């Protein structure tokens, strides 16, 4: 069986793959074209998120290991007989840490201190009176996948009062958007950790942002499509929103002339939420664990329904 | 009885004091001289940290409410019959949040992202591979006062393995410097939250810093006097230390030409650790609570031994 590797890997991670699959076919995503697509069509196993169009037409594929959690760009693609697995859970810890890093940076003045450091300017005493505490804040976490659940646990550890919105999770406090809308005005922090689905597209539109408590902070570690960015910009500029921590955007990389680069009280983490030094090795280890299961005919970890898109 | 107010207060806090003590004497610390010292000598109650020399000579003083936790600059001053109270515990939450904000900023690239934001430069994919996780780190917290204890609890919530050094706290893991020295090489994070005492002066000298694990991160939210700053600079410049979060310094404000302004991988939080928007009101509320106890002849909260200095 041929393994086609389309994942973003570094040399350490590629060496791990080679140790497990000496004849693996590695492809450079940035230059892949019709020749690579033809080789993919002959491979029984694939590690990495190939372009959606490659998934139509006759394929030898039996197992696709995605290198991400989200895969909304494959929505509606049905591949009978092909097992698909994702990396659910692998990004929970780093993404939750980035969400908390951003929130604490806002409350504890870290960006302003970074700027003052470059200018060697002591602003300590003046800054103290403008600082806030995360402790005791009322927070809403939208989404109780592994990321949302981890963010909720960390906010609770900081002494926040946390409510969660999720349609099906048994431990959610709010289950419908009507319940969210009725409660939104109570929260000082609103975190989006929902997947990208037709239901979450534009969830944070102008009308919903207008229901936020004055000065509330919005954190988006879900998908950029969940927020109306123009409405977000207006709310940040007017001061209606007290701040934002934005990891995801409708267009990534964020274009240089995009207004979200220069919003006040906004931490832009550039979709680094899931990242960490051993990320590529760890995702390769997950793939190799699933490979052993695949070869042994055992059930794979993290099976997903590609057509559903999340 | 006269109340002499020497504390740093804002208008809201002063109004609270006046509501409780209409004839309170407020003094501007920045211009106080011999006339103010003479009025202090006649006051039975004082709120604020007057200059140490004012405490010698005949005084009417019966109660001194400090506006800080530390008071090492009064060490050796004995005032028989004068009750002295501090603000122990009030800065635990903000200082612990600043310590965590700094650590997460280091691991999650927040300073680098702040710089990139100013230049509207998307560095996300490249940065991911240089990021780290706080989760799972082995950390040593030195000092188990309210600040150290809170930092330990938060590090545990992030999944760190935490050991604590304290001479007397019943839940300390290490009780002597010999034990610390033997264990230092195991820790990826070392937090100083010790008070300033003769024993903690220069605790983190060149020899002890040399025992740190390669790439360890040093956090100082205790006192600047605990660290040999020249040794710290050398360790940061050489890369022996993986980073630092520094809230306190030997000289504050840090002079503009001080090398600690321009160390790599170093978050300088400018002694804002204890600060937050309601800080001055909260410390005034604490004072007023103790004032009610003082007037009723009840035991005061947070009594300290001024002569001991911590």
Q: What are the tens digits of pLDDT across the range B213-240?
A: 999 999 999 999 999 999 999 999 999 9
Helix (H, G, I), strand (E, B) or coil at A161: strand
pLDDT at B120 over 90: yes
pLDDT digits over B167-188, tens only? 999 999 999 999 999 999 999 9
Eight-state DSSP code of residue A166: -
Averaged pLDDT of chain B: 96
Distance from CA of A78 to the nearest CA of B (A): 30
Are A267 and B114 an interchain contact pair (Cβ–Cβ within 8 Å)?
yes
**What average pLDDT does range A131-152 have in this prediction?**
97
Q: CA–CA separation, B172 vs B288, rounded Å?
A: 34
Residue A220: the pLDDT is 98
Judged by a CB distance cut-off of 8 A, whether residue A309 touches chain B is no
pLDDT digits over A87-118, tens only? 999 999 999 999 999 999 999 999 999 999 99
Judged by a CB distance cut-off of 8 A, whether residue B154 touches chain A is yes
Judged by a CB distance cut-off of 8 A, whether residue B281 touches chain A is no
User: What beta strand segments (E) does chain B contain?
Assistant: 3-5, 25-26, 45-47, 63-65, 83-85, 138-142, 161-165, 189-192, 216-220, 241-246, 266-268
Q: What is the ipTM of this complex?
A: 0.92
Helix (H, G, I), strand (E, B) or coil at A26: strand
Distance from CA of B278 to the nearest CA of A (A): 7
pLDDT level of residue B271 (50, 70, 90 thresholds): very high
pLDDT digits over A189-214, tens only? 999 999 989 999 999 999 999 999 99
In contact, A288 and A48? CB cutoff 8 Å: no
Contacts of B146 in chain A (CB under 8 A): none
Window B:9-38, CB contacts with A under 8 Å: 10
Residues contacting B165, CB < 8 A, separation 6+:
B140, B141, B142, B143, B172, B173, B174, B175, B179, B180
Residue A162 buriedness (CB in 10 A; 0-12 / 13-18 / 19+): buried
pLDDT level of residue A310 (50, 70, 90 thresholds): confident
Q: Which two tokens stand for residue B103?
A: 């650590």
Q: CA–CA separation, A195 vs B99, rounded Å?
A: 32
Q: CA–CA separation, A309 vs A194, rounded Å?
A: 13
- Backbone dihedral region of B42: left (phi > 0), alpha (psi from -120 to 50 degrees) or beta? alpha
In contact, B132 and B107? CB cutoff 8 Å: yes
Residues contacting B207, CB < 8 A, separation 6+:
none
| Range list of H helices, chain A | 11-20, 34-42, 92-107, 110-118, 124-128, 146-157, 177-183, 206-209, 229-238, 279-296
Preceding amide of B253 cis, omega within 30 = yes
Contacts of A128 in chain B (CB under 8 A): 272, 274-276, 279
% of residues, chain A, pLDDT over 70:
100
Cα dist from A123 to A128, A191, B252, B256, whole Å: 9, 30, 11, 12
B102 → chain A, closest CA residue: A110
Are B117 and A261 an interchain contact pair (Cβ–Cβ within 8 Å)?
yes
Are B122 and A270 an interchain contact pair (Cβ–Cβ within 8 Å)?
yes
Q: Return the closest-CA partner of residue A276 out of B102, B110, B129, B126.
A: B129
Q: CA–CA separation, B287 vs B298, rounded Å?
A: 14
Preceding amide of A253 cis, omega within 30 = yes
Window A:118-147, CB contacts with B under 8 Å: 118, 120-124, 127-135
In contact, A122 and A116? CB cutoff 8 Å: yes
Distance from CA of A115 to the nearest CA of B (A): 8
Residue A57: the pLDDT is 87
Q: Which two tokens stand for residue B231?
A: 């040794």
pLDDT at B309 over 90: no
Are B124 and A280 an interchain contact pair (Cβ–Cβ within 8 Å)?
no
Between A196 and B250, where is the model more confident? B250
Residue B79: the pLDDT is 93
Distance, first Cα to last Cα, chain A = 28
Residue B163: the pLDDT is 98
């Amino acid at each position: 069986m041929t393994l086609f590797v389309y994942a973003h890997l570094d040399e350490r991670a590629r060496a791990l793959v080679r140790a497990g699959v000496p004849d693996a076919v590695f492809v450079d995503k940035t230059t892949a074209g019709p020749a690579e697509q033809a080789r993919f069509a002959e491979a029984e196993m694939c590690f990495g998120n190939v372009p959606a169009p490659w998934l139509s037409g006759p394929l030898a594929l039996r197992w696709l290991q995605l290198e991400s959690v989200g895969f909304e760009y494959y929505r509606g693609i049905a591949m009978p007989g092909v097992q698909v697995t994702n990396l659910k859970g692998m990004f929970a810890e780093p993404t939750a840490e980035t969400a908390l890093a951003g929130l604490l940076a806002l409350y504890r003045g870290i960006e302003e201190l970074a700027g003052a450091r470059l200018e060697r300017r002591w602003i300590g005493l003046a800054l103290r009176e403008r600082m806030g505490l995360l402790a005791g804040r009322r927070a809403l976490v939208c989404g109780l996948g592994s990321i949302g659940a981890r963010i909720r646990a960390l906010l609770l550890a900081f002494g926040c009062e946390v409510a969660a919105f999720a349609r099906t999770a048994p431990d959610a406090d709010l289950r419908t958007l009507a319940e969210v809308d009725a409660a939104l005005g109570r929260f000082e922090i609103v975190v989006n950790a929902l997947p990208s689905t037709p239901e979450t597209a534009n969830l944070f539109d102008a009308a919903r942002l207008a229901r936020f408590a004055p000065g509330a902070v919005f954190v988006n570690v879900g998908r950029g499509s969940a927020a109306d960015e123009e409405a977000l910009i207006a709310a940040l500029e007017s001061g209606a929103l007290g701040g934002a921590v934005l990891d995801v955007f409708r267009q990534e990389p964020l274009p240089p002339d995009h207004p979200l680069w220069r919003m006040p009280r906004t931490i832009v983490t550039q979709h680094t939420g899931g990242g960490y030094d051993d990320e590529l090795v760890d995702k390769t280890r997950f793939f190799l664990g699933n490979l052993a299961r695949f070869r042994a005919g055992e059930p794979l970890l993290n099976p997903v329904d590609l057509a559903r898109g999340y």
